[in-house]
Structure 1
Amino acid sequence: MPESPEVQALADELAARLVGRAIAAVDVLEFRVTKTRARPLTSLVGERVTGVARHGKLVAVAFDGSEHLVVSLGRHGWARWRAQGEAEAAQSPQPEPGASPDQGQPEPPPPALVVIEFDEGPAFELTDAGGWVSLGGWVVDEPVEVPAIAGLGPDPADPGFTRADFDRAFAGRRKQVKAILQEQESLAGIGNAYSDEILHAARVSPVAHAATLGAEDHDRLFAATVDVVRSAIAERRGIPIDRQKQVKVASMRAHGRAGEACPRCGDAIRDFTFASTTAQYCPTCQTGGEVLPLKGA
């Protein structure tokens, strides 16, 4: 799932490449992407891009006609560029002659659900790799008209984010800290991966309730939240969007590292079941040696 560091990099690249360009055509290949049926994405044809901004995990593209295209990438959505005249099928890697499907062949790219062409330069594609459509697009006058943006909490990447903002999200709550970190109404932009990284950096158990944390735990968690998010945004800056996932995976110290040695203490990073997904933690650093349950184990 793209989180604030990757979405910020996407917004920055879109701004650098699209501001001043006008939309020449919009092809919506999956009707479920459009969330504002009275204002379809095709209504943006002829509009010129004036700016791009990130709101949590969503991107808002502003146009000179005062409209905004808001895109939620959901769980499996992302974006890519397509050179003019390049067919979508040409982007799918073909197996080497004589190679079997399981001999290290790259996975085919996710399908494009929306293709946006501009008056010059490459077309822009919105993709979704999931078994269900998580990608969403709205055409609105103001981004705040999209409920997911209207309900966003403070963003740790914002220079104005304060300890008071953080404390309001956590203070006295009988809810697991990992769930709060991922709760967009409490803190904007954090998902499964960066919540794992924050908790590992803070040496806090992901299943501890916020109300049970001591003052030092809160101090470490606040510092880790700000540092992990802002450092990741700085590190992703300037990296092309087609490399963002690869760079994100390589940067993780706990998330996705089950079975590997913890970079702090050397214990094995472990999986545990969280909500409908799997997350990672270090028993020695975070849970006092307690092994958290893994569904089906």
Structure 2
Amino acid sequence: MTTDHPATPPRPDAPAAPAHEVLLDTDIGSDVDDALALGVLLGSPDAQVRGITTVYGDTLLRARLAHRLAGLAGHDLTVVPGATQTLSGKEVWWAGHEGKAFTDLDAEPVRDDIGADRFLAETVLARPGELEVIGIAPLANIAGAIAYDAGFPSAVRTLYLMGGYFAPEPKPEHNIVSDITAARIVFGSGIPTVVTGLEITTKVRIGRDGIEAIRAAGPYGKALAREIDAWTGFTGESWSVPHDPITALSMLRPELYETRNGTVTVDDDGRTTFHPDPSGPVRLVVDADLTTVADEIVSRIVRASA
């Protein structure tokens, strides 16, 4: 005789599964906003970073920096150096301060036995519909994953992008114009995508109070503050515009954002145009509670640093 037993309930003290399992594709090391976005993810109990890929320029240096920063926050992450050159052939822009706030980065372990495009594709395809991808850089790695396996676009749960400028008079934005070929591949792939453009992100500043709160939040906060100092020293500004953390929050706190469905095209000068379409695969962020978003960015980074 077979007796059916009720499922064993989870232990009350068992940790809840994260709502978001994430692959982060980044050009960390130039503008500090990539490092801040990593901090937002690491300081979010509802997110778990399953891997990082780096793109654009010296991606080995970028990968070692990402591993160092994550380690200071108590995380040993898989980091894969990716495409160093653009698919479009456009020359890579390099600020010159990348990694210089740290010593002995050569000692940081990275995974160099696999290409970033293959890593992205195989990781996503191993668990279709479960992993989200955040792209906060030129898009050669993500375009490469699409080329590596045609099943990649339909297997991504959602792709969150920082890129483009969707004001009435659009202008080129760095992540898109740096690799127009890759951007066209990604936007044309049909991946369910949420994109945040400069017309939203440039409305937010992390000012001196926020920077000092991060600096005071342990070894990781101090390391991030050094990255902030390197970037503000380069720009001559006393604040940071958190483009990429705003994109990360669009995944973590979607109720703070208003989006509209459609498609995106990229012209030969790198300008992006949004075409409204209720059935379109792209959701463009058209408004957000930016005061709350800014507060969330700082508080989550401070939590990661604790």
Q: Same fold (TM over 0.5)?
A: no
- When the two structures are superposed, what TM-score results if normalisation uses the length of structure 2? 0.24
- Of Structure 1 and Structure 2, the greater helix share is in 2
- When the two structures are superposed, what TM-score results if normalisation uses the length of structure 1? 0.24
